[in-house]
Amino acid sequence: MAPKTDLIIVESPTKARTIQKYAGPDFRIMASVGHIKDLPKSKMGVNTSDRFQPEYKIIRGKHKVVSELKKAAEKSRFVYLAPDPDREGEAIAWHIAEELKLPPEKAKRVLFNEITNRGIRQGLSSPVALNRNKFESQQARRILDRLVGYEVSPLLWRKIQRGLSAGRVQSVALRLIVEREREIRKFKPQEYWNLFCELSGSSPPPFRAKLFSVDGRKKKITDGESAEAIRSELETGHFVISDVEKKRKRRAAPPPFITSKLQQEAARRYRFSAKRTMRVAQQLYEGVEIGNEGAAGLITYMRTDSTRLADDAVKAAREYILQKFSKTHLPDKANVFTSKKKTVQDAHEAIRPTSTEYPPEKINKYLKPDQRKIYRLIWERFIACQMKAAQYDHTTFKIKAGENERLELRAQGRILAFSGWLAATGEDDTRNNGEEAGSTVLPPLEKGEKPALSGKGAQTEQKFTQPPPRFTEGTLIKELEDKGIGRPSTYASIVTTIQDRRYMEKTEGKLVPTELGILVSDRLVSFFPDLFDVTFTAQMESSLDRVEEGSEDWVALLSRFYSPFHKQVESAMVNMEEIKPSEPVEGEFCEKCKAPMVIRWGRHGKFLSCSNYPKCRHTRPMESDKKLSAEASEAIAGIKCEKCGRSMVLKHGRFGEFLACTGYPECKNTRPVPTGIKCPRPECNGELIERRTKKGRTFYGCSNYSETGCDFALWNKPVKEPCPDCRAEFLVRTGRAGKTKLSCANEDCKYSRDE
């Protein structure tokens, strides 16, 4: 009789194929394809009167998988349970062991931090017992979310609209988005003016200095008249350098990636959603076919909040740096990173490449475009984290000017003196004699020298204070992380869930709450002030961590939470105001059949609908919506719908702003937002409008494209402002958010300025 082989069960078929390559013929590898059991969909599935015992059911479609796993387990000597090394993976392993009725001596939990020969051998050689604390922590989180979802969602169905739902953590994230939107809406821009002088001294190049203080005090110039008076004073031409400060500053190497920072950097660099980033990272972790070598796991486990690195990984990185760069880039001792956060789970390493034998340039041809981008980010950050700090020479000129030298201007420059870790990331352009890209190069002037006006001389620049920016996925994840909300495994699902529920939309990468999202958030915060409070949610995350550590009982945690929560639900059922579509709106009647109008909800909020629906399908906007739309559409006032003659208003959709008919949903006509800028082609009378490629990329093209075939197009957004140098009719905006420039659209003109 042939000896029994050992069975390894993972959750992913891809992971199974990669492990089979390393494990050899003595092991059979099978995949559970994720969770095999969960709470039922048709009911709560939690007995709140009996210690919150869950009622797990085999997930529909998984019975065949479970049957095959049972048969394989019976023929195996040992069963190695190897789902991902986190709470969710522990729950999968626990449920498999239960369903397969594995005795403790046969079931062995193994943790693969990387899917490589070394990682597989290490895991199999040191199996551990199933971790009850980690499983109970996951179970407590699952039950908490089920209690909130199954008790709050029916409340929303009854009071607002059927089909709505609420999540314990997602609703807190929605609250942050809504509160930020309110800050933006109530923000009132304040005018201020900047003053600059273009100066030249005894040595080139010319440089630009900015007004810093007046009469020894920093002063904000708030009107054009005052700005012009100071500009005139500067035009007298009296300037003297009162001080020259030179400092060498260091920019330390960044730590290796944790989950949240990888998501944020991918969002910043490539505008990847958190979900997209994690999907690609999972592929790199589970294994990619590398030519004749077969499948190879390229990165370590990607759900982690630890910056710890294995000693052998640090050694490999230092050897690579010495070979690829130079000894001057390598610190005497390895860089070590620690986290200030108490919630860090240090079981896993930071996200890093599994081997320095796979630099991006060697394996790019085997990777898909998204995989290349994410792998390069991880590779560069890993190598950079073990390099020396970058060094800059900072120079500041303090310049006295004006009558009795009462004005002070300052000019600042920064030169990259030593690239350090920047050599690994290419973040700064170290060419051009070491000049940092975008920096100001100051001439070698000394204290007491008297530079003179040059170029455009003294200039004023009108500016307005800006509201706080809307969240992007990356900045929202950073906010959640900073406030202790969510964990590495949940950030992506939090953002995705809010969007799937249509409580918020993405507009040019920014997260904008829908009217429905604002209404739901306001109601939840009003009736559940603790549950959807940021601090309370962060404390709950800490409690779940303590369950995992074994210092808190999961049943006691749920008991402490549920009693006051259930009372709040009962109170809200009685006291929350109900939006009833069946109730007529006072004074509002259908223009077609004279029946009372009622409130209904659509994707973009509430509208008035005839109570005779579906016999009469007449609709019109709410009066409050008309007011808001009018305010938002002031710049496009007078534009009429070409189909029904009603006014068009500004709306926010999945792909940004657009014009929509106020007759929606009766009239669903939409139109791109006009820029107010005429097409520069002399023979064309069209205007530039926002358009999209088949792949969804935004560009700006002529409105006459479909009529006359005018193919004028720009990738950068046009701004209706004439060029001060060549008088071209518009400028274009370039760069990323927070670092944008306005440049002339005329290729022969070199005008450009920071926005």
Per DSSP, what are the bridge partners of residue 316? none
- What is the reported pLDDT for 344? 53
pLDDT tens for 232-251 read: 999 988 999 999 999 999 99
Point out the catalytic residue in the list 22, 301, 562, 700: 301
H helix or E strand, kind and range, residue 689: strand 687-692
Can you tell me the distance from the alpha carbon of 375 to that of 280, in angstroms, rounded to the nearest whole number? 9
Q: What per-residue confidence (pLDDT) applies to 637?
A: 47
pLDDT reported for residue 566:
96
Which residues of the chain have a pLDDT value below 70? Answer: 1-4, 340-347, 428-440, 580-583, 602-605, 622-635, 637-638, 652-657, 665, 694-696, 706-708, 736-739, 755
pLDDT digits (tens, 9 = 90+) for 307-341: 999 999 999 999 999 999 989 999 999 999 987 66
Question: Helix 369-384 vs helix 274-286: angle between axes, to the nearest 10 degrees?
Answer: 80
Distances (CA, A) of 418 to 221, 245, 318, 393: 38, 19, 18, 9
Q: Which domains does the chain have, with CATH numbers?
A: 5-130 (3.40.50.140), 144-187+469-575 (1.10.460.10), 191-252+392-464 (2.70.20.10), 262-384 (1.10.290.10), 584-671 (no CATH), 685-754 (no CATH)
**pLDDT value of position 578:** 85
What element of type H or E holds 670?
strand 670-671
End-to-end CA distance of the chain: 78
SS (H, E, C) 577-633: CCCCCCCEEEEEECCCCCCEEEEEEECCEEEEEECCCCCCCCEEECHHHHHHHHHHC
CB 396 within 8 A of CB 241: no
Are 687 and 672 contacting, i.e. CB atoms less than 8 angstroms apart?
no
Catalytic, 301? Answer yes
- Cβ-count burial 298-315 (b if 16+ within 10 Å, e if not): bbbbbbbbbbbbeeebbe
Q: Give residue 457's identity as a one-letter amino acid code.
A: G
State percent of the chain over pLDDT 90: 64
